[in-house]
Structure 1
Amino acid sequence: MLAEMIQFPNLSPEIFSVSLFGTDFALRWYALAYIVGIVIAWGLAVRAVKTPALWPAGQAPMSPKQVEDLITWIILGVILGGRLGYALFYQPGIYLQNPAQILRIWEGGMAFHGGLLGVVIAAWAYARAQGINRLAMADLVASTVAPGLLLGRLANFVNAELWGRATDLPWGVAFPGRAAQDCGQALGEICARHPSQLYEAAMEGLILGALILWLVYRRAAFHAPGRVLGTFLAGYGIARFLVEFVRQPDAQFVTEGNPLGLAWQIGGYGLTQGQALSLPMIALGLWFLLRARPTAAKVPA
């Protein structure tokens, strides 16, 4: 048994619950993370469009009212894209046989990469309908995402889900539950795992978010269209790719002959599903960064 590890704190996924008409309704930390993340993103976007100096020629691509409308579209994109992405990327066999289960979002199961695609489609459609510069709007949206990622990963930790691989490091966490404790250890010993949710919270939320805000407010990043978007895509992709080395893959990818859960492999070497989905993000982010150039327009004095 390990002499050093962190016991998982006594945390409940539910903040509170009430019973009405024979049905239990609960507010969960994960739902609250979505709500607060969206509110923070809204506030950051409104502040940005109200600060003319951040934009070429002192002209923001959207009005505060358009930001408010866009948030509604993005919420739909996150929910529909995240759910469909989870069904297609991680559980295709189950959901293709039972398509109606895709609609049961209250049972859990959301994929970030699917949610990202949903946001891209929703934002593109809104920009086209409103005649908004799509790249400038993409930069604006990308500058607001990191706080929500931070809160979402913290909620994953509270839910004791998406934990990492077994570890003997002193900060390994003994997560509750049969699945988390099934590490192949000797009978009676406790299994400690990487708190990969906290790694992602730090890398995708704190570090990437701080970098993007610094670029926006100190390096005039909006004046080079695509720079903020490219930074977010490449930064998230790199962070997720690295964390996947210590994150426990989804159970359907783990077999006796594939204990690392590699979804794509050749000769024993390969990538997890999360790494495979992150590579296009990294490539696309680098492409936007290489193409980003400061505009010739001057901000009026």
Structure 2
Amino acid sequence: MAHVLPFPDISPELFSIQIGGMEFALRWYALAYIVGILLGWMIARRALSRPALWPQDTRPMTKEQLDDLLTWIILGVVVGGRLGFVLFYQPGYYLRNPLEIPMIWQGGMAFHGGFLGVVVATWIFCARNAIPKMQTADLLALSTPVGIMLGRIANFINAELWGRPSDAPWAVIFPGPYALCDDAPCARHPSQLYEAGLEGLLLGAVLLTLAFGYKALKKPGLIAGTFFAGYGIARFIVEFFRLADAQFITEDNPLGHVLRLTDTIGITMGQLLSLPMVAIGLTLILLGRRQWK
């Protein structure tokens, strides 16, 4: 235990205020959403300001349409993320307590659900405004990793979504119910930071380089396909180091696999949901090849 790192003493709340006997707090997680959406919006506007990056040197939408799309995306993230958590991770609980489904302030959002929510919202918006769907998908994929990175850093600050036990020199002893293993201090992988680095920083750098350095936006589907496949692969890898959600962990299934081959080999829910993203990404890249020539 001499080589592990103590958990940094960072409050999940930036500040809180009392108004009329009620307390309102700004949390790091909420700030990550706000800043992530803002930075993603700025990246998208930068891409739209350069028509030469797009097929036929024509941007897929105006900046005013992007501003309208932002509202749809926010709704898709919130509604889809919440419903995804309810359906994928705790359907039994919310079936018994349906009035708690809209209580997002209690926590509980799923990335894969938020992703599906954004897909549906964007599809409807593009259909209503006659905007090219694939080029819009490329634009959103280019803008998303920065928000993922900030969200995962906020997960780390909140001491949630812990990693599996580890004796690595960078392992961290998180506070809370998983601080102990067999009544001894338990260091864990900082899997939130692994995700921030792979799904956010690395994937974002690759997409920005492809878009602005190699004009990949001229090839509809390449950026979106790379994002879907890249995220799915990164998440699948990180799941080997991330602790499964509590509802999947039992005495005879300590690793929380939803599909088990042996006692130690199987697939987690996060991996199961990531496989379709890899398939979608590769399909977009393959189907779009005819348009790239």
TMscore range, shorter length: over 0.9
Are 1:223 and 1:295, in contact at CA under 8 Å, matched by a contact in 2?
Answer: no
User: What pairs with 1:50-199 in structure 2 (closer than 5 Å)?
Assistant: 50-177=49-176, 179-184=177-182, 187=183, 189-199=184-194
What amino acid is the match of 1:153? Answer: R
Q: Does 1:277 align with 2:273?
A: yes
In structure 2, runs of 5+ residues without a counterpart are none
Say whether 1:39 aligns with 2:38.
yes
Task: Indicate the larger mover: 287-296 or 131-140.
Answer: 287-296
Question: Can you list the C-alpha shifts for 1:272-296, whole angstroms capped at 9, x where unaligned?
Answer: 0000000000011111112223747
Q: Which residue of 2 aligns with 1:24?
A: 23
Distance 2:198 2:278 in 1: 15
Give the TM-score normalised by the residue count of structure 2. Answer: 0.97
Equivalences, count: 292
Indicate the SS of the match to 1:25: strand
Matched, 1:9 2:29: no
When the two structures are superposed, what TM-score results if normalisation uses the length of structure 1?
A: 0.95
SS in 1 for 2:180: coil
Does residue 242 of the first structure (1) align with residue 241 of the second (2)? no
Match of 1:291 in 2: 287
- The amino acid across from 1:36 in the alignment is V
| Distance in 1 (alpha carbons) for counterparts of 2:256 and 2:143 | 32
Give the CA deviation at 1:215. Answer: 0.5
Pair 1:257-2:252 in alignment: yes
State, as a whole percentage, how many aligned pairs show the same letter. 56
Deviation at 1:266?
3.8
* Unaligned ranges ≥5, structure 1: none
CA deviation profile, 1:37-93 (whole Å, cap 9, x unmatched): 000111111111110110011100000000000000000000000000000000010
* C-alpha RMSD of the superposition: 1.2
Distance 2:253 2:90 in 1: 17
Check whether the contact 1:225–1:294 (CA below 8 A) recurs between aligned residues: no
Q: Is the 8 A contact 1:224 1:294 kept in 2?
A: no
Write out the 4+ residue segments of structure 1 that deviate beyond 4 Å after TM superposition.
294-297
